[in-house]
Amino acid sequence: MARSRSLTRARRAQRPRWWTIVVLLLASITLITLSERGSLRGTIAAMKRLAHDAVSPVQRNVDSGLRPVGDAIAGIVHYGSLAHENAVLRHQLQQLQGRQLQKTSARNALQQLQQLQKAVGLRSVAQIPSVVAEVTAVDSSNFADTVDLSKGTGAGVDVGMPVVTGTGLVGLVVNAWATGSTVRLITDTASSVSVGYGSGSSAGTAIVAGKGPRAALEVDLVAPGVHLHKGMVLTTSGLQHGRFPPGLPVATITSFSSSASSTQQNVTARPTADLGQLQYVDVLQWQAPPLPPGAS
């Protein structure tokens, strides 16, 4: 009997449940009808809106988190072009600053230059032709301090020509070849420049000597008791057989002192030109007057 009942239940489970098929069929017909009439479109749209509202905050947070990463990647990709643009802008700014400083220093030097011209009969610095050159190499040690330029004898640059920027004297050309040249900076230990200082009865001359690239300039031959002040501008005197044209700003005094037994004051100065940031310079095509017979 028990076995007969088990077989009966198994046969019933295997029979298709016709009512389930009918329900599924009716549901399908209903969905198709509603879809054709557009009844489900509003429901589906509402569901989409709900999903969008739920996802939007997460999407905004993800975007906010990834945006700095994207900006950083873009910055890395475009770093080369941005660095070049910044270099060009810095150069343009330096040119504008140099022009403004040149105007200021030219006004200050003009009066001294006019007085010196009356005495030695030299021509105006403004009339001296020049060659613009780019600094291509820097060679600094404890004693030597030189730079190489992109212009040489092929462009009219020659040994003995002064080199300047808009703010003052840089140095002197000591070697030149067809496509380049070497300039000894005024901070080099082999450099010495005759300078003038003061005006009227307190005017005098001195020698600015280089002591190395990281040392202050030394100002020699300033007698005790001569009135000096910090920031006083020292300009080329036009002496030294005319090695430099007169009136070029060279350095400003930074300190001075003397004792009762001193034969000269201890004076230091710093270059008016920023020798640590040289990029473009002007080589003055200055020809010193010929030495008198017997002079060396």
Structure-token pair, residue 123: 């021509």
128: Cβ–Cβ under 8 A, 6 or more apart, which residues? 245, 284, 285, 286
pLDDT at 59 over 60: no
Give the model's pLDDT for residue 202: 77
Average pLDDT over residues 178-203: 92
Reported as a pLDDT band with limits 50, 70 and 90, residue 119 is very low
Distance CA 166, CA 273 (A): 8
| Strand 192-197, strand 145-149: pairing | unpaired
Count of CB atoms situated within 10 Å of the CB of 155: 18
Predicted confidence band of residue 113 (pLDDT cuts 50, 70, 90): very low
Class (C level, CATH) for 123-290 = mainly beta
| pLDDT attached to residue 142 | 74
pLDDT of residue 242: 84
The predicted-structure confidence for 240-277, as pLDDT tens digits, reads as follows: 888 999 999 999 999 999 888 889 999 999 999 999 98
What is the DSSP secondary structure assignment for residue 156, as one 8-state letter?
T
Q: What is the pLDDT of residue 165?
A: 92
Tell me: pLDDT of 191 over 60: yes
Confidence of residue 47 (pLDDT cuts 50, 70, 90): low
Distance CA 239, CA 252 (A): 19
Q: What was the pLDDT predicted at 123?
A: 46
Single pTM value for the model: 0.60
In DSSP terms, which residues pair with 173 in a beta bridge?
183
- Which helix (H) or strand (E) segment holds residue 8: the answer is helix 2-14
Going from N- to C-terminal start, the domains of the chain cover: 123-290
Q: Which residues contact 212 (CB under 8 A, 6 or more apart)?
A: 142, 143, 145, 187, 188, 189
8 Å CB contact between 159 and 176: yes
Q: Specify the pLDDT at position 210.
A: 96
Question: Of all residues in the chain, what percent carry a pLDDT higher than 70?
Answer: 56
3-state secondary structure of 69: helix
**Residue 236 pLDDT > 60, yes or no?**
yes
Q: Average pLDDT of the chain?
A: 76
Cα–Cα nearest to 170, from 278, 289, 287: 278
Write the DSSP symbol of residue 291. Answer: P
SS3 call for 14: helix
Confidence of residue 125 (pLDDT cuts 50, 70, 90): low
Q: What are phi and psi of 13, to 5 degrees?
A: -65, -30
Q: Are 154 and 271 within 8 A, CB to CB?
A: no
Position 68 scores a pLDDT of 59
